[in-house]
């Protein structure tokens, strides 16, 4: 199992490197679902199979996009935030991939935006779901492991 500590370390490394903000564990709340979240997802196939989902508030996605693209938040559009979440999912997923048995491959990212949606990755079950805060905004990393 990929531990909470490993997920926190990977997430902290990605967000510190990309935008210079720390990540910390948070209380488990469902508030993120009410904030028009944006979710990036990558899948891992090979010796270990599964998926990594990274979900944030739209506000955090905009903050990170503004840092990545060196633009003001009000200059960003939906595509900029989706591109940012794709890159975050790719980076976190790639780092998680290095923690699981290999050889394996990482898929291209998929991004979903908006309220009231469910993501179901067939053939997997949730192994770990870690609520965190970054720049005062909610962030969640979910590890879905393939089941036989």
- Residue 32: CATH number of its domain: 3.40.1550.10
Rg of the chain over all Cα atoms, to the nearest angstrom: 14
What share of the chain has pLDDT > 70, as a percent?
95
The model's pLDDT over 104-142, given as tens digits with 9 standing for 90+, comes to: 999 999 999 877 777 788 899 999 999 999 988 899 999
Mean pLDDT of 33-60: 90
Would you say residue 28 has pLDDT above 80? Answer: no
Would you say residue 41 has pLDDT above 90? Answer: yes
Mean pLDDT of 59-71: 93
Mean pLDDT of 42-46: 96
When comparing pLDDT for 119 and 39, which is higher? 39
pLDDT of residue 30: 65
Total domains, the chain:
1
The answer, yes or no, to whether the previous bond of 103 is cis (omega within 30 of 0) is: yes
The dihedral formed by the CA atoms of 113, 28, 129 and 40, expressed in degrees to the nearest 10: 20
Q: Whole domain around residue 44: which residue ranges?
A: 4-146
Shortest CA distance to 42 belongs to which of 107, 98, 104? 107
In contact, 129 and 142? CB cutoff 8 Å: yes
């Amino acid at each position: 199992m990929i531990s909470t500590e490993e997920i926190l370390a990977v997430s902290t490394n990605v967000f510190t490197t990309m935008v210079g903000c720390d990540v910390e564990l948070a209380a488990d709340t469902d508030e993120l679902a009410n904030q028009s979240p944006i979710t990036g997802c990558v899948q891992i196939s090979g010796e270990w199979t599964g998926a990594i989902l990274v979900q944030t508030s739209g506000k955090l996605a905009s903050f990170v996009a503004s840092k990545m693209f060196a633009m003001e938040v009000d200059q960003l559009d939906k595509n900029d935030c989706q591109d940012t979440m794709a890159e975050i999912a790719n980076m976190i997923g790639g780092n998680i991939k290095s923690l699981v048995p290999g050889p394996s491959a990482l898929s291209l990212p998929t991004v979903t935006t908006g309220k009231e949606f469910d993501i179901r990755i067939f053939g997997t079950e949730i192994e770990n779901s870690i609520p965190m805060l970054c720049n005062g905004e909610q962030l969640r990393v979910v590890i879905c492991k393939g089941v036989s």
